[in-house]
Amino acid sequence: MQSGKREVIIPVQEGIALEGHLEIPPSAVGVVLFAHGSGSGRFSPRNNYVAEVLQEAGIATLLFDLLTREEDQVYQTRFDIGLLTERLEAATVWLQQQTEFASLPLGYFGASTGAAAALRAAAHQGANIAAVVSRGGRPDLAGATALAQVVSPTLLLVGELDTEVIRLNHEAQAHMHCPTSLVIVPGATHLFEEPGTLTEVANQAAQWLRTHLSPHGTPAS
């Protein structure tokens, strides 16, 4: 497998293709697809930072736009969890069709509304998705039925000061039967803009994903 960064075009349905960038570290143990929140995309500075930490832990990352530029101009479309889920699953299929990734475990990292899409996609994909991480996510938007069907070990990361989202994550977690962990990041608000809080998120995510993506369950160093 050739390491490095690649710009990719992902066909998701007839006439629609999405742009993304794929970064592959040497000896990657798995690949994580990022599902961004509403109004965000592959250039999200927070998700790109997390992706860099994952790459340092030996995990390849795919950051891509779930919506076209035109679709992203429509406010309601940004919150269309069904559509976002379809796009994430289409990207998952595309990635699996790339020969060099066919044998690598897959994971999802979802932020805000993207976390709902990640969990709904994980429910559909079953054991095909080795792990899920939600950053400041709205897993409740995935719906109780989908949450109950998720088998992928799921890490829910929420800022300590993001009290309403903490409540919603607790409610979502109650519907889940897979291994889950809800981690409250001290001193953090919804976007983890406070010093050190995003680093904590990235390190927690790297440890969780490395543990569940690696065939030997090796945590990140």
> Which of 78, 76, 50 is CA-nearest to residue 63?
50
- What 3-state class would DSSP assign to 35? strand
For 89, phi then psi, to 5°, come to: -70, -35
How confident is the prediction along the chain (221 residues), in pLDDT tens digits per residue?
Answer: 677 889 999 998 888 999 999 999 998 999 999 998 766 778 888 999 999 999 999 999 999 988 888 877 776 777 899 999 999 999 999 999 988 888 899 999 999 999 999 999 999 999 999 999 999 999 999 999 999 999 999 999 999 999 999 999 999 999 999 999 999 999 999 999 999 999 999 999 999 999 999 865 555 44
Q: What is residue 71's predicted lDDT score, i.e. its pLDDT?
A: 77
Q: What is residue 221's predicted lDDT score, i.e. its pLDDT?
A: 45
Distance in angstroms (rounded) separating the CA atoms of residues 91 and 73: 21
Q: What is residue 37's predicted lDDT score, i.e. its pLDDT?
A: 74
Q: What is residue 70's predicted lDDT score, i.e. its pLDDT?
A: 80
Residue 184: what residue type? I
Q: What is residue 219's predicted lDDT score, i.e. its pLDDT?
A: 52
Query: What is the pTM (predicted TM-score) of this model?
Result: 0.93
In order of 95, 106, 134, 208, 217, the CA distances from 4 in angstroms are 16, 18, 26, 23, 24
Domains of the chain (ranges; CATH) run 4-213 (3.40.50.1820)
Structure tokens at 75: 């406010």
Distance in angstroms (rounded) separating the CA atoms of residues 32 and 212: 11
Distance in angstroms (rounded) separating the CA atoms of residues 221 and 19: 32
Q: Please classify residue 20 by burial: count the beta carbons closer than 10 Å to its beta carbon, then call 0-12 exposed, 13-18 middle and 19+ buried.
A: buried
